[in-house]
Structure 1
Amino acid sequence: MTIDRSDVELARSVAGEAGALLLAIRERATEQGKALGDAGDHEANVLILERLRAARPDDFILSEESIDDTARCAAERVWIVDPLDGTRDYAEGLDDWAVHIGLAIGGRPVVGAVAVPTTGRIYTTADAAGRARACAVPPRMVVSRTRATDMVERVGMALATTRVGMGSAGVKAMAVVDGRADIYLHDGGQYEWDNCAPAAVALAAGLHASRIDGSPLVYNCANPLLPDLLICRPELADQVLAAIAATR
């Protein structure tokens, strides 16, 4: 499928603008804790919806922070966004949170931009292509800082991985994209907005991205629950999938 570069640039621009807004909200220090997270979620969502609707009025949008319009299910093009991935990390003053702007076309994650505002990085499907990488020995596996599941821990032990705790799904996935990690495995429950943009960027980078049974990631489903995910270096995919199967 040919990717429209203007879609990528739109995703990059919107992710960057939302990220800058989220930094400004945190810096103004008028909210704390949950109120800060709520303000970030809401204000970033408003900005993202405004920008996407103005630029692509015929496209549908599925956002974590908006009421779902199920008419999107019949659409070919659907933007799938998480205005603030890692709300708890953001509210606690940590750095590993992200903004996800993804575009699914025909159910496939085709365009993605993942902004990590505290680092100034925006990863996109255009930038990721052709990245060179070498797998570490032992492989490095990113896991939830606070709630890695038993299955993830068992797979990590079976593969003798070095486990690295991180926050948001987008930050974990981008650690594999830029070579700081080799495996991101999740089975604790996610939604399409948690992984559409990260999966698009990972696939563009030549990484393996699938469900934990090896089946393809499909987006714009009537039920946006997408509970499990594997992103890893392609040479590790068979080993990781086999280790997952052995734990089930």
Structure 2
Amino acid sequence: MKFRRLKVDRTTRQSETRDSLPLRPAPTDDHALARDLAVRAGELLVALRSKAGSSAGERWTLRDDGDMGSHHFLVDELRVARPEDRVLSEEGAEDLRRIGAGRVWIVDPLDGTREFGEIDRTDWAVHVALVIDDHLAVGAVSLPAQGLVFSTLEPPVLPPRDTSGPPRMVVSRSRPHPATILAAETLGADLVPMGSAGAKAMAVVRGDVDAYAHAGGQYEWDSAAPAAVAIAAGLHVSGVDGTELEWNKADPWQPHLLICREELAAPVVAAVQAAIRRQPGGGRA
């Protein structure tokens, strides 16, 4: 898909949005544990990747080994460190005992499996989050190939926004949602294609882009840790319709996600909702 500078339509009404819910208080050692696990799982993945061959078959094997190796590492470490807690992992079997549990770790052992299998790409991540009483409390996102980690232990400092040019919206490099592209057109925003959800969310945290609007649906493990880090950094976090996100649901499907600068929340919500209504079938994301 070709990305281009898009025209501004300033007639869109701004929808009302709610401020992001604050993180639920959690012990300092929970924040430290999340960060440590995200870093160490990332180191495991980097080491695994360094031994990979270049054939298509070897890349597929690398992806599978990365997913499961990181999953088993995280689950085993959490079983030792927090034996009473429950775990929801992308790669794990469903355990409905987590429903109603006071403490649930939500992890994505390898966010951006496709990018991980492309040796020259760095936009993949490890997510570790803790939900307390169904509210986000702790989060850590590591970008192992970039040697970076962002966590609620030491919340990132959001840099000043560069207002010298148009706003920048990060989108999927392989499957950008039509509503996001139409919303960018309304906002006059530049589109920045990128890989994993964690990499896209941390691009907002780092100030590389101004907004990440995902209207195509994902799972709680894709968004929990990035959302926690973004909230800790002072960003707006909600659905693309401005509603509060829910966590540790029986069905972990998360229909949409918005992470952006607070001052952009209302216009982005309005633009995305208008774009969705223009799609065949209309309705909400």
Normalising by the smaller structure, the TM-score range is: over 0.9
Counterpart Cα distance in 1 of 2:181 and 2:259: 16
Bigger-Rg structure (1/2): 2
> What is residue 210 of structure 1 aligned with on the other side?
238
* CA RMSD across the alignment: 1.2
> What is residue 81 of structure 2 aligned with on the other side?
55
> What is residue 51 of structure 2 aligned with on the other side?
28
> What is residue 8 of structure 1 aligned with on the other side?
31
Residue-by-residue CA offset, 1:50-79 (whole Å, 9 max, x unaligned): 111111111100000000100100101100
Counterpart Cα distance in 2 of 1:160 and 1:128: 30
Q: Work out whether residues 207 and 231 of structure 1, in 8 Å CA contact, stay in contact via their aligned partners in 2.
A: yes
> What is residue 71 of structure 1 aligned with on the other side?
97
Counterpart Cα distance in 2 of 1:169 and 1:148: 12
Counterpart Cα distance in 1 of 2:132 and 2:238: 17
The counterpart of 1:176, out of the listed 204, 215, 229, is: 204
Q: Work out whether residues 158 and 207 of structure 2, in 8 Å CA contact, stay in contact via their aligned partners in 1.
A: no
> What is residue 132 of structure 2 aligned with on the other side?
105
Counterpart Cα distance in 2 of 1:126 and 1:157: 37
> What is residue 111 of structure 2 aligned with on the other side?
85
Counterpart Cα distance in 2 of 1:101 and 1:133: 27
Q: What is the CA-CA distance between 1:130 and the residue it aligns to?
A: 4.7
Counterpart Cα distance in 1 of 2:25 and 2:34: 16
- Which runs of 5 or more residues in structure 1 are unaligned? none
Counterpart Cα distance in 2 of 1:130 and 1:45: 30
Q: TM-score, normalising length from structure 1?
A: 0.97
Q: What is the CA-CA distance between 1:125 and the residue it aligns to?
A: 1.3
Counterpart Cα distance in 1 of 2:251 and 2:193: 29
Q: What is the CA-CA distance between 1:36 and the residue it aligns to?
A: 0.8
> What is residue 257 of structure 2 aligned with on the other side?
229
- What secondary structure, in the 3-state scheme, does the structure 2 residue paired with 1:127 have? coil
Tell which has more relative contact order, 1 or 2 (C-alpha 8 A, sep 6+): 2
> What is residue 20 of structure 2 aligned with on the other side?
none
Residue-by-residue CA offset, 1:1-51 (whole Å, 9 max, x unaligned): 423110110001111110000011111126722211000000000100011
**Which amino acid in structure 2 is aligned with residue 206 of structure 1?**
G
Q: What is the CA-CA distance between 1:132 and the residue it aligns to?
A: 3.9
Counterpart Cα distance in 2 of 1:85 and 1:129: 20
**Which amino acid in structure 1 is aligned with residue 114 of structure 2?**
R
Counterpart Cα distance in 1 of 2:162 and 2:26: 28
- What secondary structure, in the 3-state scheme, does the structure 1 residue paired with 2:266 have? helix
Counterpart Cα distance in 2 of 1:184 and 1:82: 19
Counterpart Cα distance in 1 of 2:185 and 2:133: 37
Q: What is the CA-CA distance between 1:135 and the residue it aligns to?
A: 4.6
**Which amino acid in structure 2 is aligned with residue 28 of structure 1?**
K
> What is residue 243 of structure 1 aligned with on the other side?
271
Comparing 120-129 with 221-230, greater Cα deviation is found at: 120-129
Q: Work out whether residues 114 and 124 of structure 1, in 8 Å CA contact, stay in contact via their aligned partners in 2.
A: yes
Asked if 1:154 is matched to 2:177, the reply is: no
Q: Work out whether residues 128 and 225 of structure 2, in 8 Å CA contact, stay in contact via their aligned partners in 1.
A: yes
* Percent of matched pairs sharing the same residue: 49
> What is residue 161 of structure 2 aligned with on the other side?
134
**Which amino acid in structure 1 is aligned with residue 39 of structure 2?**
G
> What is residue 17 of structure 1 aligned with on the other side?
40
Q: How many residues align?
A: 248
Q: What is the CA-CA distance between 1:129 and the residue it aligns to?
A: 5.2
Q: Work out whether residues 139 and 152 of structure 2, in 8 Å CA contact, stay in contact via their aligned partners in 1.
A: yes
The structure richer in helix per residue is 1
